[in-house]
Amino acid sequence: MADVLVLAAHPQLEDSRVNRALMDAAAALGAQRVVLRDLYAAYPDYVIDVQAEQVLLAQAKLIVWQHPIRWYGMPALMKLWLDEVLAFGWAYGPGGSALAGKDLWLVASTGGSQQAYRPAGYNRHFFDDFLPPYKQTAALCGLRFLPPLVLHGAHRVSEAELAEHARLYASRLASHPHWPEIAELEPAAACDVPPEARPRAD
């Protein structure tokens, strides 16, 4: 059974060279290694099958969020997926340990160049400054947040650069968890949420 789950979320996938190339590279590894989910194709009405998504998450050892950066964060459907699937009492909070010990990997692309993500650039911050919500989501769920794979300037990347990026992506998916940097990472941070953090349903 595949232990890598790729959740791809691009609202205009037909216009995306980068994300289509990455999805093709993941799919080429075969269903025995990777489960590839195109969230916008699966849920065009934004009605998410929470139970089905949770079953796939429970089976995975590596969870990949693959998406373009939209207004310094994730696309709308990816955020809705988090809101509904990572439920209190299942993904976090008392009894919420379904994802504990798994790995989370962000694979993102930006329209802006790497130089744009500098204090002197028009985004005014390094790209890592926009990652705390991802890192804390991982920590709250007991997931180990792996170093992201980011491709800047997606609209202008050459075919050779894109092919190399897709090759790296596929090689990482195929070789997980045997990445050199994983051995140096700390386990997921402990975030114990008390029962009274959420009201009980009457």
pLDDT tens, residue order, the chain (202 aa): 689 999 999 998 888 899 999 999 999 999 999 999 999 999 999 999 999 999 999 999 999 999 999 999 999 999 999 999 999 999 999 999 999 999 999 999 999 989 999 999 999 999 999 999 999 999 999 999 999 999 999 889 999 999 999 999 999 999 999 998 888 888 777 788 888 777 665 4
Residue 157: C-alpha distances to residues 27, 65, 126, 154 (Å):
22, 21, 20, 5
Tell me which residue has tokens 């991802």: 134
Q: Are 146 and 184 in contact (CB under 8 A)?
A: no
Q: What is the pTM of this model?
A: 0.93
Of 179, 176, 148, the closest CA to residue 33 belongs to 176
Cα distance between residue 190 and residue 139, in whole Å: 7
Write down the pLDDT at residue 169.
97
Write down the pLDDT at residue 2.
82
* Residue-wise burial string across 77-108, b where 16 or more C-beta atoms lie within 10 A, e elsewhere: bbebbbeebbeeebbbbeebebbeebbbbbbb
Write down the pLDDT at residue 1.
65
Residues 6+ apart with CB under 8 A from 195: 93, 94
Cα distance between residue 11 and residue 157, in whole Å: 20
